[in-house]
Structures are given as C-alpha cells and as structure tokens.
Amino acid sequence: MKRLHLLTAAAATLVLASGNASAQTVASATKNVDVKVNFTAKCQLATGPTGAVTIDFGPVQAFATADVPAGPVALAFECTRGGGVTPTFKWDTAANSVDGGGTTAAKTNGSIAGLRYELRATPGTDAPGADPVLTAGATATNGTPRVINVSIDGTLFAGAGSGASGAQTDSTRVLTVSY
C-alpha cells in the first residue's frame, strides 16, 4: 500500500512539473499600432425645406402703415460635436449685416420693391450629440451629431415702395454657417 501511494505522489509531481514547464516556455511579443486621421469639422443642413428657403412677405400695398412680418422657417444644422466651437451665422452682405452665433441672431438688411427689409437667423436649441458607443461587435455606434436649430424670419418695413403694380420682385440672399 505504501508503495502505491508513493508511485501516485511521484506521478502527480511529474504531471505538475510538466504543466509548469510548458507554461514557462510560452513567449509573447507586443507592437504599438498608431491610429491616425486627418479630420475636418463641418456643419450641414439636416432638416428644412428642399431647395431655397422662402421668406414671402405676400401682397404689399404702397404707403402701407404697418410693417409686414414673414416666417419663421425652421432649419436644423448637423455639426461636428465637441471641440468647444460655437458655429457663427453670417449673411452674404457684410456691410448691411450683423453676424450671429451662440444665441445671437445674424441680421441683414436689404431692399425689395423699394422697401427695406430685415432678415434674422436666430439660433435655437443646441443639442450636443452623443459620443460613440465602443463595444465589441455589431452594437458599437458612431454617436450622433450636434444639432443646432435655426429660425429664419423677416420684417418688411412700411413705406412708399417702387415698381409696377402687380410685379413680383425677388431677391436671393445667402446664409453661411461657419464652424
């Protein structure tokens, strides 16, 4: 009996020793992997009317005594999130404009049918977006963009005006969002 225990103990010692020996012979190596990107932040129109935005003052009589409001037209811009950057809004004619950004409206003046008008692009809610969800497999996401809502409206100021009766007068203005 004593002999059997001694042989079993010796066999167990050999198995453990051989297990340790193989674990000690495993080798590993590491290498750094640099991940790079040349990224450009931007904003783009997310929701709003297709084509041009129209601020229509409707029919107006010469020598009107009341200003005519028009709008608002709602737009939403998707922008790159983070970075601490506040988008600015600028109308096309710097001489007649005030730039906007944050909660400040961008304003511009112009003339149509001999009457002065003012357009305003007023920033509304600013949703910061969400960072990517980094998980293994199909549940990972890229996150969501920052969304800035903007309301465009205008006022046509009362006055004499000029032009032929019944003539439609158009003017195209450009609103630029810089980020």
Which structure tokens are listed for 144?
Answer: 């969501």
The pLDDT of residue 94 is 64
94-103 contacts at long range (C-beta below 8 A, 24 or more positions apart): none
Q: What angle do CA 167, 170, 174 make, to 5 degrees?
A: 175
The pLDDT of residue 68 is 94
For the chain, the helix, strand and coil percentages under 3-state DSSP, each to the nearest 5: 15, 35, 45
The pLDDT of residue 47 is 79
pLDDT means over runs of 10, the chain (179 residues): 44 48 75 93 80 87 91 89 79 77 85 89 88 78 87 90 76 83
The pLDDT of residue 104 is 86
Distance CA 109, CA 111 (A): 7
Per-position DSSP letters for 112-172, written without gaps between them:
ETTEEEEEEEEEEEEE--BPPB--SGGG-B--B-EEEEEEEEEEEPPS---S-TT------
Return the amino acid letter for 95. A
Distance CA 173, CA 177 (A): 13
Inter-residue contact 103 to 134 (CB < 8 Å): no
Q: Which of 47, 74, 85, 105 is nearest to 178 (CA)?
A: 85
The pLDDT of residue 44 is 85
Inter-residue contact 125 to 164 (CB < 8 Å): no
